[in-house]
Amino acid sequence: MVRQVRADPLGGPAQREVLSQLLARPRYEVLPLAGIVDDAVAHLPAGATVTVTASPARGPEPTMQTAEALAAEGFHAVPHLAATQHGEHSLPVTLERLQTAGIQEVFAVGGDAAPGDDRRGASTAQRGETFDDGEQLLQAVRRLGPELRVGVPGYPEGHLTIPAEALEGSLGRKVEQASCVVGQLCFDPLTVLSWAGGLQAAGMTLPVFAGLPGAASSAQLMRIAGRIGVGDSLRFLASGGAGVARRLASLGRYDPTPLAAGLAAAQDGGVVSGLHLYTFNALEETEQWRRRLLARLQEGDHA
């Protein structure tokens, strides 16, 4: 009788070493909701990088307050600044608050309009003197706060409303002033690595972080993934013979291990510098997942 040997899902020594490095110091993205600072203190490593999203519905204040509170607790807090929420008049005040709080990095995004507020495409004056887009915001941050590190978003699968050519041109100009690029959520490791490799081939030398879902509720993850436009990688999941997408929705909580292992397996030349975990505020579950996986890798558990 021939005994069938099951392949190690975490790969050989080289892949496991790459995966350990990716998991060592991830970035954690949170939503600025009540209790999230206490959760971060309770569950995340001291001094971890925690980025705070901008809420179209609630405005910039919750993001600022959360980032200030995280910084006071010793975290490397990174507030998202949205072009739809900041302008030439308000940005200096915002940057002064960041300096007072000891915050050294921001993430500049275009941002969504508030619900019921269709301001996209309107002039700056019509929009209450907010910036037109993330590129204009980035230029203003660079001019007013040159000491700040500034991250910008990248889109491995493209953008729902921005044509690919315009998106590529915008990113090409942004990276000249940015400090790092953070990939949008994507479920297909080959798509992520192809995108990051393309940036590197084009001469970009900034660190690139792969956007990875945390161990969040599967139902929440599917809902948000559909809203932000990761359809191609969801189809990638669905292409699995066992109906992976259906299983994802039924498991209750998403397991990021296969995606993280896939990134490590296909990584060639270090095109991805690290992981950006979209936690959806499931900090305890996401951090437990990361620590357990690191322990498996360090203990040589090939089960």
Q: Distance between CA atoms of 281 and 89, rounded to whole angstroms?
A: 32
The dihedral sign for the CA sequence 195, 198, 202, 204? positive
> What pLDDT is recorded for position 253?
78
Q: Which residue type does 48 have?
A: A
Mean pLDDT of 77-91: 95
The pTM score is 0.85
Domain boundaries, the chain: 13-112+126-300
Q: Does the pLDDT of residue 244 top 90, yes or no?
A: no
Please report, to the nearest 10 degrees, the dihedral formed by the alpha carbons of residues 160, 269, 189, 108 taken in order. -30
The fold for domain 13-112+126-300 equals TIM Barrel (3.20.20)
**What's the pLDDT tens digit per position in 100-159?**
999 999 999 988 665 555 544 443 434 568 999 999 999 999 999 999 999 999 999 888
Residue from 182, 188, 191 nearest 211 by CA: 182
Please name the helix (run of DSSP H) or strand (run of DSSP E) that holds residue 261, with its range, or none: helix 257-266
> What pLDDT is recorded for position 163?
86
Q: Distance between CA atoms of 176 and 168, rounded to whole angstroms?
A: 13
Which residues, 6 or more positions from 274, have their beta carbon under 8 angstroms from its beta carbon? 22, 25, 26, 27, 207, 209, 210
**What's the pLDDT tens digit per position in 21-59?**
999 999 999 999 999 999 999 999 999 999 999 988 889
- For 177, other C-beta atoms within 10 Å of its C-beta total 16
Least confident of 79-83, 152-156, 241-245, 294-298: 241-245
> What pLDDT is recorded for position 298?
86
Q: Distance between CA atoms of 239 and 52, rounded to whole angstroms?
A: 33
Q: Distance between CA atoms of 207 and 168, rounded to whole angstroms?
A: 17
> What pLDDT is recorded for position 164?
85
Instruction: Spell out where the chain has E strands.
Output: 27-30, 49-52, 76-82, 105-109, 149-154, 180-183, 208-213, 274-278
Residue count (the chain): 303
HSE-CB of 215 using CA atoms within 13 angstroms = 13
Q: Distance between CA atoms of 171 and 110, rounded to whole angstroms?
A: 12
Q: Distance between CA atoms of 188 and 1, rounded to whole angstroms?
A: 37
